[in-house]
Amino acid sequence: MELSPHLTQLFINNTYVDCLNSHKISVYNPATGDLVSDQIPVAGPDDVDQAVQAANIAFSLGSEWRQMSNVERGRILLRFADLLEANQDRLAHLTRLTLGAPYHPFGKSEIETAIGCFRYYAGWVDKFPGQSFPADDGFYKIVRNEPLGVVAGIIPWNGPLASVGLKAAPALAAGNVFILKPSEKTPLMAAELGKLVLEAGFPAGVFQVVTGDGSTGALLASHMKVAKVSFTGSIPTGKTVQILAAKSNLKRCTLELGGKSPAAVFDDADLDNAVHWCVNGLTTNSGQICFASTRVYVQEGIYDRFLTAYQAAFKAKRSVMGHPEAEGAELGPVVDKAQYERILEIIKRAESEEQGTLLIGGRPISTKGYYIEPAIFTDTKPDASIYKEEIFGPVVVVNKFKTEDEVLQRANDSRYGLMSGVFTESLNRALRISSAFDSGVVGINCISTINFSCPFGGTKESGLGRELGVNALLAYTEPKTVLINMNYKGSSQ
């Protein structure tokens, strides 16, 4: 298909420019397998240097961005949010072309997340306080939160616009300048953002977009004039980003690296509510979300009833699977052929090795496009790969438990710690388990959701640092201590 020229360019210093690096990559429509474009630029060293240089100039003392009042910076963020909202159909279409997620419910939700983030952080711009301490020791003490400078956001393919909100909004609100590097699988929406950056009134070099693959991300992570990188993706790549950051200029890192989120459903849980959250938390975006509820533990007294209702809900989801542009479609394909083949191979291996019992699903749906029927495995072995490792697809394991201690031990026995959920009518139990879960976020009678005002991130190998809330602002700033000697008797001039 023919794309607008700017969608195959880089956005550097408020200008769409051709990539200096000649290497191109291809993107495909996962709903059909058809080629969308073979002209997606891969920003190389010279391209990244140009963007970083422009960003450093934009952040330099005396620049328009540094001298801008908090009120005006907040207005620009609000204008950008309004532009996201006004252009949401176009942005959703560009994302859907190579991601395959239908607009309802996921596409709409991720756009609303981006819009909400920019509005939320626009409100913080003139309300982000420092600290002061009394001069009882002769020194009046001030702590200011100052921007880091040039920061890079390396975002994933599974929720690209939401990720822009989570990373760019707090970075810009704190006074930094931002370079966005989208996934090579979903680059088109990011390229379109340059037009909105111009219309919103960002000064040149403040918000830039460089497309590319892992090599482009590595250039940003290792660049000596980038002060921070915020990465969302796999554990192995996140570890590489941290190594590159440490080996270069010891730049700050925020790493959100996925999960294998457990949901514990107790005998006294509201069955319909538990089924609703656990099903949606697995099937949204075809299971391609970091906090998908992929491990479900059900207490033995409710296990049979839950499994019957859960299976029926999965079958209902099958009826709304279809082309992401089709009316009523809620469940689309997985992102590309590589992901499709990988997930099917995991399911096939799990069956052949008898890692658990395949209750339903796990089969290709169409001869065209990358559709996989959501799969439920039961009675999985504790060391099974489908039980232990993140699949990032529509595959869930459901297991029975007896006691609270048992489910906590099994839920926490994981290298991941992003999110967990507990379903119960007992407030005491809910609060007790929320404390005992080893995860960065816990849902009580819900799972697989976030909130703008609260920190989001994980423990263990699910990552470092937090996004959202005031925690994100702190992650994009450095505290500076100013000591004023109150005993100084020098000139008062």
Task: Compute the Cα dihedral for 53, 57, 61, 66 and give only its sign.
Answer: negative
Contact between 156 and 259 under an 8 Å Cβ cutoff? The reply is: no
Partnered with residue 322 across adjacent β-strands are none
Q: Within the chain, what is the greatest distance between any pair of CA atoms?
A: 84
Contact between 218 and 244 under an 8 Å Cβ cutoff? The reply is: yes
| Pairwise CA distance, residues 200 & 131, whole Å | 32
Residue with tokens 């925020």: 254
Q: What angle do CA 96, 98, 102 make, to 5 degrees?
A: 25
3-class SS letters over 136-159:
CCCEEEEEEEEECCEEEEECCCCC
Q: What angle do CA 444, 431, 291 make, to 5 degrees?
A: 35
Contact residues for 403 (Cβ-Cβ < 8 A; gap 6+): none
| Pairwise CA distance, residues 372 & 396, whole Å | 13
Residue with tokens 């590159």: 244
| Pairwise CA distance, residues 109 & 104, whole Å | 8
Which residue type occupies 227?
A: A
| Pairwise CA distance, residues 274 & 182, whole Å | 34
Partnered with residue 254 across adjacent β-strands are 230
> Is 256 an annotated catalytic residue?
yes
Query: Which of 256, 330, 461, 467 is flagged as catalytic?
Result: 256
Contact between 476 and 147 under an 8 Å Cβ cutoff? The reply is: yes
Secondary structure (DSSP) of 389-441:
S---SSEEEEEEE-SHHHHHHHHH-SSEESEEEEE-S-HHHHHHHHHHS-SSE
Q: How many CB atoms lie within 10 A of CB 243?
A: 12
- Point out the residues that are catalytic: 256
